[in-house]
A and B are shown apart, each in its own frame.
Chain A
Amino acid sequence: MLLFWPIIIPILTAVATLLAWRSTEMQRGLSIFGAFGLLLAAIQVFSVVEQTGPVASQGGGWIAPYGITLVADLLSATMVLLTGIVAVAIVVFSINDVSAEEEHFGFHPLIHSVLTGICGAFLTGDIFNMYVWFEVMLIATFGLLVIGGGKAQFDGAVKYVGLNLIATVAFIAGIGLLYGTTGALNMADLHGRLEGRSGEAVVLASAAFLFFAFASKAALFPLNFWLPASYHTPCSSTSALFSALLTKVGIYAIIRVFTLVYEIDGTVFVPLMYAAAIATMFFGAMGSLSHTHVRRILGYSIIASVGFMLLGLAIGTELAMAGAAFYLTQDVLTKVGLFLAAGAAARLTGSELFARSGGIWKARIGFSLLFLIPALSLAGVPPFAGFWAKLLLVKAALDVNGYISTFMILAAGFLMLYAMGRIWAAVFWSAHPAGEQVIKERFGAPTLLPLLAVSALIIFIGVYAGTFVNLALQIGRDLVDPTAYIQTVLGEGTVE
């Protein structure tokens, strides 16, 4: 039952907020309550998994592989915990951020529907069930994109919807081929059934479909064009949720499926992943240098970050997987911190364009630091969390003599530092073109507390890195050798 709570709580919250449709105050209260509930459930799942290893629940009491299984190993549990943290941060931040119109048209129910889909996708052990959770997540994000109702929102939504639906079709086609050749949908069961078959054409074809689908969701180059077209259009709470978790679900699915289900060693997927990772890092870093709009730059930084994680998977050693997992987890916090701070900064200056903003450092030093901390973490400056993720990846790349990978990690890190420096110089340091008196708004607790909490976590992870690196190494070991995961799902004695 433990594993059902992170899915049940957000969906019940979504229903409750829908019932409270007429009163936005009540919706807010329920929404915050639900977000804290999700966080508590996630902490519970994480502490159990951290102490006892992977946990599985069989839906409806059907033994695996016949029923739908929910599984939490350390990676899933960590991602669910981060989802809980992000949920609280965003719902609290949204109090002063979301327009009355968006709140009226169902911001809170949609946010919790997205959270339901995300938690479901992290926890499921069944590939078709994962498709269903992806759709739950997708349809709710469609709603969140358009409730603003402006021209930019609709334009962004057309591109987002159009390109994501292609990925959806590829996902279902891949599942069809996979089921046709193995007769199984349970991912732990698939692992056994596909053993030694990684060269067969139908297996490769299904893997290609799934890789295409997940790569589109994760915004890997060249399937990323929906992201910069849409992520800067909704309100900043919404885009913080998207940036922190949606692409992460895609990369989580790649990591899960291509370590547990398929053996990729020696197949075409290893060079493909190297190429995609390096191209994504390069394209994301370059894109973030070519814009003068804060959230557009941050949108490209999401793309660059996804490249780092895929690179870890492509290298494929325990240390590299640990690096990918560490990057994945700290990047959730970094991105939510950056997007929320960017949203708050836009409220101060009245614009997200470089040409029409500035002067925040002089007027609000404390708040400026709350942007600086996630920005430096993104660039990989010690002592923040992002530094250790890059360190693990560089070490892993050097261990296998991957000099091009090493160079790209360092180069992309440097370019991200430069991109963040551009935002810092234009929005915080330079004077506001309309004079200082423009900056009037005094932030209340709902704006500052989530930012403070996220920054504190980024520093905490960076300073007490030993604990978190050990967790990441454990995740890396589990990913390279999924025996414990499979035994938890299928029972003892099923793995030779």
Chain B
Amino acid sequence: MEIMLAIIAGTLVAAGAYLMMSGRTLPYIFGLTMISNAANIIIFASGRLTFGVPPLVPDGAQTVTDAANALPQALILTAIVIGFGLLVFALALAYRSYYVLGTAQMDHMNSSEPGKEVGP
């Protein structure tokens, strides 16, 4: 199971990195989303992987022994929520910068570079 998750995480990072190197804003954001999901899978795997063991304390016992740690799952939830917020902002920024700058090619975005100063 862990090996499978490791392969998935690795594939996501590879595909994400490939997309991010395309030099356009939208594929960059998709690639980033893939990589951040790979990071979430890493956290998920860090909390032990178990099949069909609910994290319930059995009658008479003090602690759960076999179940997966629930804390990483809470961490992933937080990371997903934050990641989703950042994704929405990044998409809005990509749209808006295409509108304002007239290009989605990162190599052509140079309005903040020396010699391009407009106005004062």
Q: A319 near B: Cβ within 8 Å?
A: no
What residues of chain A lie closer than 8 Å to B39, measured between beta carbons?
169-170, 172-173, 176
CB–CB B101/A151 < 8 A: yes
CB–CB B43/A172 < 8 A: yes
CB–CB A158/B109 < 8 A: yes
Q: A20 near B: Cβ within 8 Å?
A: no
What residues of chain A lie closer than 8 Å to B96, measured between beta carbons?
146, 154
Other-chain residue from B32, B43, B85 in contact with A139 (beta carbon distance below 8 A)? B85
CB–CB B75/A139 < 8 A: no
Total chain B interface residues with beta-carbon distance under 8 A: 41
Other-chain residue from B40, B72, B94, B111 in contact with A152 (beta carbon distance below 8 A)? B111
If A146-B96, A165-B90 touch, whether A293 touches B32 (CB-CB below 8 Å) is no
What residues of chain B lie closer than 8 Å to A165, measured between beta carbons?
32, 36, 86, 90
> What total count of A-B pairs have CB within 8 Å?
125
CB–CB B36/A169 < 8 A: yes
Contact with A along B84-120 (1 / 0, CB 8 A): 0110011001101100110000100111111011101
CB–CB B46/A180 < 8 A: yes
If A161-B93, A293-B117 touch, whether A172 touches B32 (CB-CB below 8 Å) is no
Q: A179 near B: Cβ within 8 Å?
A: yes
- Which of A227-235, A309-317, A486-494 interfaces with chain B? A227-235
CB–CB A139/B89 < 8 A: yes
- Which of A3-11, A28-36, A345-353, A392-400 interfaces with chain B? A345-353
If A128-B75, A142-B89, A168-B86 touch, whether A291 touches B32 (CB-CB below 8 Å) is no
Q: Residues of B with Cβ closer than 8 Å to A?
A: 25, 28, 32, 35-36, 38-40, 42-43, 45-47, 69, 71-72, 75, 78-79, 82, 85-86, 89-90, 93-94, 96-97, 100-101, 106, 109-114, 116-118, 120
A–B Cβ pairs within 8 angstroms, 16 of them:
A142-B93, A146-B93, A150-B100, A152-B112, A152-B116, A152-B118, A154-B101, A155-B112, A155-B113, A162-B32, A176-B39, A179-B43, A179-B71, A229-B112, A293-B114, A296-B114
